[in-house]
């Protein structure tokens, strides 16, 4: 596989061609939403904003929806249970490296000996076209965690090198797509040097850095379990759980049954859950294994839990 270079005009034509032909399924990309950005279905390449800093919700929502029915059932003398598994083909355009790395974490969590079919029937049928984040939010800590760039997890990776985009080809699927549906040329060593330079320049824009290696963080958290910093942070926390739910690496969900008014059947669904919520540890008997005598103590507990 040979890395490619594509002009801005031809990149727009490539995206429009993917939308028209559905060669990689439904095309979803990053779009402006007011003064923010979010992923959504693209009507045309003109909707795409590859210069964004961060999205409101991570692209995990397309493989791990906020609410997802997992089975439907009927009750009676002969109960019937039918699994609900949705297979969907998608092409996500404009995924940042840290979101790609987050999806790899999801792959590990939902894989293993008992792979989650609801997740993988969407994930395995997806095409990921990433884009390097060259104008990050200064408070982003992606560089410190080693996730500002990635060498894997994508089919194609775009890097703005001026008038053109350098395209790092990650898979045969990506190689076939760009050769069949786009006008591009082979990337040269000079093109790759431009890519490396803009990536290096982007790293200087991150203003948050850790004075330790990422793999040292768990030990530090264990040592600071009773630190007053958690109580201080909890004092101004509303316990809404939003920060955890929008996190690209949060894999938690809750499962509930919804019985129809006829009482003849219903459905079971799962929805995003968060360890920051006070009822996260509540069990069927009503017992909650967290101290929830007041909002502050409950939040302090959940803050500690969320950092583990």
pLDDT at 240: 85
Q: What is the pLDDT of residue 303?
A: 39
Euclidean distance between CA atoms 111 and 145, whole angstroms: 23
Map out the domains of the chain as residue ranges: 4-203, 214-306
**pLDDT tens over the chain, length 308 residues:** 899 999 999 999 999 999 999 999 999 999 999 999 999 999 999 999 999 999 999 999 999 999 999 999 999 899 999 999 988 999 999 999 999 999 999 999 999 889 999 999 999 999 999 999 999 988 898 998 999 999 999 999 999 999 899 999 999 999 999 999 999 999 999 999 999 999 999 999 998 888 888 889 899 989 998 899 888 888 888 878 888 888 999 999 999 999 999 999 999 999 999 888 888 888 888 888 876 654 444 443 443 333 33
CA–CA distance, 64 with 44 (Å, rounded to integer): 25
Cα 302 to Cα 204: distance, rounded to the nearest angstrom = 33
The Cα 29–Cα 41 span in angstroms is 6
Task: Give the per-residue pLDDT at 235.
Answer: 86
The reported pLDDT for the residue numbered 94 is: 98
Give the number of other CB atoms < 10 A from CB of residue 5: 20
0.75 cut: is pTM over it? yes
Predicted confidence at residue 269, as pLDDT, reads: 96
CA 91 to chain centre: 14
Closest CA to 58 of 207, 251, 209, 199: 251
């Amino acid at each position: 596989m040979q890395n490619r270079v594509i002009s801005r005009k031809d990149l727009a034509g490539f995206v429009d061609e993917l939308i028209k032909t559905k060669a990689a399924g439904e095309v979803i990309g990053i779009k402006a939403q007011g003064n923010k950005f979010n992923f959504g279905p693209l009507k045309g390449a003109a909707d795409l904003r590859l210069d964004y800093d961060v999205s409101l919700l991570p692209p995990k929502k397309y493989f791990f929806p906020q609410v997802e029915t997992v089975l439907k059932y009927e009750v009676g003398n002969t109960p019937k249970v039918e699994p609900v598994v949705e297979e969907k083909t998608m092409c996500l355009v404009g995924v940042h490296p840290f979101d790609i790395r987050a999806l790899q974490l999801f792959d590990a969590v939902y894989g293993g000996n008992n792979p989650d079919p609801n997740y993988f029937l969407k994930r395995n049928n997806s095409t990921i076209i990433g884009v390097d984040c060259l104008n990050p939010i200064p408070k982003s800590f992606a560089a410190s965690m080693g996730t500002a760039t990635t060498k894997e997890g994508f089919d194609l990776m775009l890097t703005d090198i001026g008038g053109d985009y350098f395209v790092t080809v990650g898979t045969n699927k990506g190689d076939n797509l760009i050769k069949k549906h786009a006008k591009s040329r082979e990337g040269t060593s000079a093109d790759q040097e431009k890519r490396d330079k803009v990536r290096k320049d982007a790293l200087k824009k991150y203003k948050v850095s850790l004075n330790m290696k990422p793999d040292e963080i768990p030990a530090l958290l264990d040592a600071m379990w009773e630190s007053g910093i958690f109580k201080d942070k909890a004092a101004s926390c509303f316990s809404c759980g939003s920060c955890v739910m929008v996190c690209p690496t949060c894999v938690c969900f809750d499962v509930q049954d919804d019985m129809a008014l006829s009482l003849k059947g219903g459905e079971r669904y799962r929805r995003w859950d968060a360890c920051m919520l006070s009822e996260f540890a509540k069990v069927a008997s009503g017992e909650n294994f967290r101290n929830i005598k007041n909002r502050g103590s409950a939040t302090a507990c959940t803050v500690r839990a969320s950092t583990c």
